[in-house]
Amino acid sequence: MPTLTIDGKTVHAPHGTFLLAACRAAGIEIPTLCEHPAVEPYGGCRLCVVDVTRPEWNGWNKMVVACLFPVEDGIIVDTRSERVLETRRVVLDLLLARCPETPLIQALAGSYGVTKTSFVLNPEPTDCILCGLCTRICDRMGISAISSVDRGAGREIAPPFKEPPPDCVGCLACAEICPTNHIRYEASDGRRRIWGKDFEMLRCPRCGRAHITVAQADFFAGKNGVPRSYFETCDACKRKELAATATKLAGGASTPAVEQGTR
Amino acid sequence: MRIESHQQFDAAVEAARAAKLSKGREVWVCCGTGCLANGSRAVAKAFDERIEAEGLQASLGLYHKTTGCHGFCERGPLVVIQPEGLLYTKVKVTDVPEILEKTVRNGEAIPRLQYKDPVTKQAVAKYEDIPFYKHQIRVSMRNIGRVDPEDLDDALAHGAYSGLAKALFAMTPDQVIAEIEASGLRGRGGAGFATARKWKACRKAKGERKFVLCNGDEGDPGAFKDRSIMEGDPHSVIEGMIIGAYAIGAHEGYLYVRDEYPLAVVNLGKAIEAARLRGLLGANILGSGFDFDLRISRGGGAFVCGESSALMRSIEGRTGEPRAKYVHASDKGLFDLPTNLNNVETWSDVGAIIANGGAWFAGWGTPKSKGTKAFSLVGKVKNTGLIELPMGTTLRHIIEDIGGGILKDRPFKAVQTGGPSGGCLPADQLDLPVDYEVLSENGSMMGSGGMIVMDDRTCMVDVARYFLKFLCEESCGKCVPCREGLKQMLHIFEDLCAGRGRPGDIERIERLCHAMQLGSLCELGKSAPNPVLSTLRYFRHEYEAHIQDRACPAGMCRDLTAYEIVEEPCTGCHQCTRVCPTDAISGKPKQKHVIDPAKCISCGSCFDVCPEDCIRFFPKNGSKEAANAHADH
Amino acid sequence: MERVPCTDLAPVDAILARYPREEPSLIQVLQDVQRAYNYLPCEALERVAGELGVPLAKVFSVATFYKAFSLNPQGRTIIKVCTGTACHIRGASQLIEEVQRRLDIGPGETTGDMAFSLQTVNCVGACAMAPVVIVGEKYVGAAKATTLATYLDRGE
């Protein structure tokens, strides 16, 4: 297992893991905006920059992003060098100019002493920081209903043709992973609306709650080869059922519902 | 006919040479993009028709062939008569009969079509005596302008694929790599990474399936050497790639070519087809047992795809977003498989190095930068075009001796190298020998070999603004420092050029530059500050003039500049009125003209055409109010 | 986004037939579609997505990322003004203004009668002839505002 030094601490980290995990395991806080355990690292927000050096480099060090840098034996990491902090400050300053009204960015920038941007304010303030979490989670679900559109300064996240996305199943994964709450949706009893697309909901036959879109149930059923009826019961009711079964089992009774419950 | 052994290859080369020798005389017409634009296709057709109609092949042993770019694009269409090596420039269809009659039949020169040295004003008859050519040493461009890119036999007669035959039949892959190592060849795309080291890493990488790629996404504005190589001598690129694949152990390759280079795509496609038919590509190449095939992938028009990881994503059919390169492409590149990527010029050098030996190539250059290097010499210089020179040649030699000095003999201000990743070098750096290290140490870069010469009428703040605008459009937008940083930097520069600069701007620029260099994901963002930092380093006074005096010393920033016609010696020649796009200039013939400031848009067209130098520019009034208004808000 | 309806997808199918049905074909196919229609019709993108097995969102992403593609129909003659460095310092911006003045369209726009589109290109590699304008297929080297007019005749 590689042994490295982070901010003076000796840290062991398994081969094939990234520096960010090693830092966090050692209790060292590193700011991130585009990182999430559910998706592959991306390296877009650049907030997790750290300095890396080795004794034989004679004082030369390189700046890397911790989320993508694989741990190596013998490296010495400085997560709070002046140039690391300054780079993070400029990145936050830039993000604050882009998203001046976004609480998460205001708070993070504030914690680095940036309370007001030194750059030109975005004339159309947005909450989208283009972290790519929404598109990555959508890809991860195997749906890919939304993507990045255009490039450079004009880049944005949108569905194809900026119309209600045909592939979207209304699972809300994008909205839930969005760190700034930029992706909005509406939910009223029995209906859901996201990306301008309306979805019909399935009601749980047990509790009557509208908990999943029809499209989502169809998608997962088609993808996993599981009968659609499996998705009809909501998770809460499934858990209740499982608990009831377990109690019965503990009491000595046997029921065929076990298989379904443990899937 | 398919060539199936070393012996058959030698025989094919012999036959091609004999066929070439049997053609007593040849008329070469350049059909590179530049000459085509000037009408060379029609000239070529006219030669074809006359030779055919008059039976000149039989009577004079005269043949016609079209070649790739000679590099002297500005003077096109170019015609060379061989074996004498007579060069005619700016040839028109109507000149064809006269050339055939006078020069070919009677050996008489046509002075009107000869090149005139802009310095000595003397006519120069022979191609090889023209200063633009005579200082050059061509390796990667060895056959451009000499071979017909559509004729594989012509290429064979000029030595194409002899390096490949040598590698396949007389060398092991390790020996090939050792030869490249001995040559000192470094990446011609700009970064200058040692080619042999890259090949070794990829050869060592685990995995059966490996790729060799050619980066033909020459995106640096102002550079076009790769275009000319791909168009004019596609076989040199293909040969290099097969040799590289043999050394690495790869059997598949892609040529990634800019979509803006349609002729390169066509010529490469034809060359691949021809090479396949003759057994130079595909299974069992030349009967050696080595298999390798090649496909063309057309880029979609994105500068960032010149970056290796973005290029690979693009070949995969995705958006060109770079990835972190903590794991090298030699281990995980295209389709996550071991991949070796080299630039067009690098690949073109390979065949010649194997044929002639690494020591031959290393005989030119500086201690760390060996061999020769292709450059495109453009901008405000008398002779513009494509050149190849030993590394270590001074900028002065290139600009003054080959380029013939500055257009209209105006003062030299700077030379920009390395495109949007490079910088501007001022007059007192002209004696620097050009190599990778020297350029980097002085704030510029080798890049794709573009050299854009600038005179006193080029504003260095505007040049930096130009590159920022370019990069702002070309950034992929994935990472914050590049996407947001470029946008903000461009804001500052647009203000500077419009007279809205504020104290503290230079410091804000510098802060942003450093964060972008350190924090950006890929080389596009990391090197984006270079044009800014190099102009700040050498031309800080121009920045200060824009901020403090609201003046553009070069008279290029329109919001800061006004024009007037001075009394003497305006002769009322009307040249300025003809070019003025807004009809702002009036005056009777042979009387002094005046510019109406209300109509004038300060484009400077009149200044550039005035034969008497009687138009002058000065800082525009009124910009101070605009500045104050800005400061208030 | 406004959709311009396109009903004839036969050219798209002909193009698709020339390439393997896989993601790496995407950009190559779109290049050919762009050439065939002078733009990328929405329906064509949907067909390409379906046939290559690439999510429509990815196809849209690629179609908007690369400059070679356009989602709006282009004019019959496309005027490309090169804005490479050599062209820039030799006056490319004056050429753009000249086209703007004469045709009343900015970069990226098309005249109302669909006769012309104006585009800027980041270097076409013909720097030795700067400034360069490409009108249709014709390269005009050492272009001047005064001579550009001859190429902007609608009669052509």
pLDDT tens digits along C12-71: 999 999 999 999 999 999 999 999 999 999 999 999 999 999 999 999 999 999 999 999
Structure tokens at C43: 């329906």
Residue with tokens 């080869």: A225
Q: Is B8 within the bounds of a domain? A: no
Q: What is the pLDDT of residue C138?
A: 86
Phi, psi torsion values for B382, nearest 5 degrees: -65, -50
| Cβ-Cβ contacts under 8 Å for C156 (sequence gap 6 or more) | C77
Q: How far apart are CA A48 and CA A32, in angstroms?
A: 6
Q: How far apart are CA B139 and CA B35, in angstroms?
A: 22
Q: How far apart are CA C60 and CA A154, in angstroms?
A: 15
CATH of the domain at B171: 3.40.50.11540
Residue ranges of chain B with per-residue pLDDT less than 70:
621-633
**Do B474 and B498 belong together in one domain?**
yes
Q: How far apart are CA C55 and CA C49, in angstroms?
A: 6
Q: Is B145 within the bounds of a domain? A: no
Please count the structural domains in chain B: 5
Q: Is B7 within the bounds of a domain? A: no
**Do B487 and B593 belong together in one domain?**
no
Q: Which residues on A lie below 8 Å from B474 (Cβ)?
A: 151-152
Name which of C1, C42, C57 is nearest A145 (Cβ-Cβ).
C57
| ipTM associated with this complex | 0.93
Residue in B564, B550, B569 with CA at minimum distance from that of residue B621: B550
Query: Which of B420, B438, B455 delimits the end of a domain?
Result: B455
Q: What is the DSSP letter of B622?
A: T
CA distances in angstroms from C141 to B261, C117, C133, C135, C138, listed in the order given: 16, 19, 7, 11, 10
Name which of A148, A151, A167 is nearest C56 (Cβ-Cβ).
A167
**Do B316 and B201 belong together in one domain?**
yes
- Determine, for residues C61 and A145 on separate chains, whether the beta-carbon distance falls below 8 Å: no
**Do B512 and B593 belong together in one domain?**
no
- Which range of residues forms the domain containing residue B626? 558-632
CA distances in angstroms from B561 to B553, B555, B584, B600, C145, listed in the order given: 9, 6, 15, 10, 20
Q: Is B12 within the bounds of a domain? A: no
User: For strand A210-213 and strand A197-203, is the pairing parallel, antiparallel, or unpaired?
Assistant: antiparallel
**Do B376 and B348 belong together in one domain?**
no
Q: What is the pLDDT of residue A79?
A: 98
Q: Which residues on A lie below 8 Å from C1 (Cβ)?
A: 161-163
Q: Where are the alpha helices (DSSP H) in B395-522?
A: 395-396, 436-441, 460-474, 480-497, 505-519
**Residue B53 burial by Cβ neighbours in a 10 Å radius (0-12, 13-18, 19+):** exposed
Q: Is B140 within the bounds of a domain? A: no
Q: Where are the beta strands (DSSP E) in A55-184?
A: 62-65, 76-78, 147-149, 156-158
Give the number of A-C residue pairs with CB atoms closer than 8 Å: 43
Give the DSSP per-residue string, B455-491: ETTS-HHHHHHHHHHHHHHH----SHHHHHHHHHHHH
CA distances in angstroms from B546 to B145, B493, B556, listed in the order given: 46, 10, 11
Instruction: Compute and round to an integer the Cα radius of gyration of chain C.
Output: 17
**Do B590 and B502 belong together in one domain?**
no
Question: pLDDT at residue C111 above 60?
Answer: yes
Q: Is B566 within the bounds of a domain? A: yes
User: For strand C138-140 and strand C116-121, is the pairing parallel, antiparallel, or unpaired?
Assistant: unpaired
**B616 bridge partner residues:** B564
User: For strand B293-298 and strand B339-343, is the pairing parallel, antiparallel, or unpaired?
Assistant: unpaired
Q: How far apart are CA B176 and CA B182, in angstroms?
A: 10
**Do B298 and B208 belong together in one domain?**
yes
Residue in B402, B409, B406 with CA at minimum distance from that of residue B453: B406
- Domain-by-domain residue ranges, chain C? 10-65, 77-154
Query: Which of B362, B389, B415 delimits the end of a domain?
Result: B362
Task: Identify the helix (H) or strand (E) that includes residue B63.
Answer: strand B62-67
Structure tokens at C141: 């080297």
Name which of B475, B487, B519 is nearest A46 (Cβ-Cβ).
B519
Phi, psi torsion values for B15, nearest 5 degrees: -65, -40
Crossing angle of helices B195-204 and B234-248, rounded to 10°: 50
A150 interfacial to chain C (CB closer than 8 Å): yes
**Do B211 and B114 belong together in one domain?**
no
Q: What is the pLDDT of residue B438?
A: 95
**Do B227 and B355 belong together in one domain?**
yes
**Do B346 and B205 belong together in one domain?**
yes
Q: What is the pLDDT of residue B623?
A: 47
More confident residue, B358 or A261: B358
Give the number of A-B residue pairs with CB atoms closer than 8 Å: 101
The fourth-level CATH superfamily of domain C77-154 is Glutaredoxin (3.40.30.10)
Q: How far apart are CA C145 and CA B11, in angstroms?
A: 56
**Do B406 and B303 belong together in one domain?**
no
- Determine, for residues C127 and B224 on separate chains, whether the beta-carbon distance falls below 8 Å: yes
**Do B314 and B427 belong together in one domain?**
no
User: For strand B62-67 and strand A147-149, is the pairing parallel, antiparallel, or unpaired?
Assistant: unpaired
Structure tokens at B607: 């200044």
Residue with tokens 């903000």: B488
Q: What is the pLDDT of residue C95?
A: 93
Q: What is the pLDDT of residue B629?
A: 41
A153 interfacial to chain C (CB closer than 8 Å): no
